[in-house]
Amino acid sequence: MGLSLLRIALHAGIFALLTVLTQIGGMAWVLALFMRRRIVGFLTLYILLSVATLFVAPLFGRVAVTCWRDGPLQVQSWAYCAMNRTYMVPELVEVLDDAAGDVAQARPGTVTLLLDAGFPFGDGFPLLPHLSHSDGRRADLAFFYQDETGYLPGRARSPIGYFAFEQGPTACPKVWPTMRWEMGWLQPAFPDVTLEPERTRSLVSALASDGRVSRLFLEPHLVQSLGLSSEKIRFQGCRAARHDDHIHVDLR
């Protein structure tokens, strides 16, 4: 059977989806189209290209925070590494390492968790659904959490670190269109752990006092309840994604 329009559209859709999710996945899919066993071919190519990217991206100014590092800064989920979403400029790795190190020095055993950062290649290639993570100079960090036994190292409330919102007062009206997702249906699914305020406050303070950091996003009700104050801690606006489930860091 020849390439019908429908098949071309299907493959274009798969290419677009894989590219949007992982940047290099689309290319792996196109190459796999020439192989007899397409799925096996895709997976093999994707893994090979991803590993090669670990070594090639630094030539273009981006390095990965890998999932096999240990120490105070670690990636929250293997999914972020597998999807090539933990790349950033080397200076940002230093900033995050330093801040995570500060928190761990004050409270040994603390693990700061990286969520989405950026893709390995290109400026202006957005890391959806984040609109701004397109230049390797931005990263998201998870909050710290605790239960009745105390701090839970390496644990976030949500399995991917996002969308487990700390509810609090907001001045935002319900507007549309908006990235300020409520996800009310999802909230009861998250485990009953609570924000660990001491470490979360220490991490935000360490980042805010770092001259290399230009801006942090954190929801105003958390800035207040954590007793934080810094000109660098901003509100992202009512149409942007909520920041009462994670911390967003911008490099200067």
Is the previous residue joined to 108 through a cis bond, with omega within 30 degrees of 0? Answer: no
Considering only residues 62, 85, 199, 248, which one is a binding residue for Zn ion as defined by CB under 5 A? 248
- The residue (of 32 and 137) whose beta carbon lies closer to Zn ion is 137
Nearer to Zn ion among residue 46 and residue 157 (C-beta):
157
Q: Which is nearer to Zn ion, 49 or 83 (CB)?
A: 83
> What angle (nearest 5°) sits at the alpha carbon of residue 114, between those of residues 43 and 78?
25
Is 108 within 8 Å of 69 (Cβ atoms)? Answer: no
Between 62 and 248, whose beta carbon lies closer to Zn ion? 248
Pick out residues in 194-213 that bind Zn ion (CB under 5 A): none
Report the nearest approach of Zn ion to the CB of residue 149 (Å).
30
Binding span for Zn ion by CB under 5 A among 6-14, 41-49, 134-142, 196-204: 134-142
Nearer to Zn ion, 28 or 195 (CB): 195
Which amino acid appears at position 224 of this protein?
Q
C-beta of residue 67 within 8 angstroms of C-beta of residue 51: no
140 touches Zn ion (CB under 5 A): yes
In 3D, which of 107, 103, 72 has the Cα closest to residue 205?
A: 103
| Residue ranges in 47-86 that form contacts with Zn ion under rule CB under 5 A | none
State the minimum distance, in angstroms, from the CB of residue 82 to Zn ion.
19
Match 């485990």 to its residue by tokens.
Answer: 191
Could you tell me the CA-to-CA distances from 39 to 21, 31, 52, 102, 247 in Å, in that order? Answer: 17, 11, 20, 45, 37
Residue ranges in contact with Zn ion by CB under 5 A: 140, 248
